[in-house]
Structure 1
Amino acid sequence: MRQVLKDKIIEVCDKKIAAKGEQVGISFYAFFKNKNDNPDLLMEAATWWIKTHKLDHFEKAVKIKNLVNGIATQ
């Protein structure tokens, strides 16, 4: 995963957690604007989310942040 995508994921997760608490859910669409202005990056995120980690549509932001940071999750 490109560093720019990792940085964006961490930034969005941090903002969501700060605003709504550690139980907040998130989908990979949260990392992008409603306008699909970077389809390659969107597909990279979708592949990481769906194929690599087999995640549900919504997951806890804390879990996603930990996965990006290489921290094992349950």
Structure 2
Amino acid sequence: MRASLRQHILRVCDEKIARKGDDVGVSFYAFFKNKNDNPALLMEAATWWIETHQLDHFVNAAKIKEMVMRGD
């Protein structure tokens, strides 16, 4: 996954955790606007989420943040 996407995911997870607490869940759609203006980036995130890690639709934001920080 490209570095810019990793940084964006970390930012979004931090924002969600700050607003809603440590138990907040996210899906890979949380990292994108409501319109599909960058399908290649969306597919990159979806591939990481679904194919590489076989994650459920909603996953704890802190877990996602930890995975991204480890470089998974």
TM-score (norm. length: structure 1): 0.94
In the alignment, which residue of structure 2 is the partner of 1:41? 41
In the alignment, which residue of structure 1 is the partner of 2:53? 53
- Give the partner amino acid of 1:9: I
TM-score (norm. length: structure 2): 0.96
After superposition, the Cα gap between the structure-2 partners of 1:2 and 1:53, relative to the gap in structure 1 and judged at 3 Å, is: same
User: Identity of paired residues, percent?
Assistant: 67
SS of the aligned residue for 1:46 comes to: helix
Which deviations, in whole Å up to 9, do the C-alpha atoms of 1:33-58 show, x marking residues without a partner? 00101000000000000000000000
How far off is 1:10 after superposition? 0.2
Segments of 5+ residues of structure 1 without an aligned counterpart are none
Segments of 5+ residues of structure 2 without an aligned counterpart are none
SS of the aligned residue for 1:69 comes to: helix
After superposition, the Cα gap between the structure-2 partners of 1:8 and 1:71, relative to the gap in structure 1 and judged at 3 Å, is: closer
After TM superposition, list the pairs within 5 Å mapping 1:22-41 onto structure 2.
22-41=22-41
Q: Which of structure 1's runs of 4+ aligned residues deviate more than 2 A? A: none
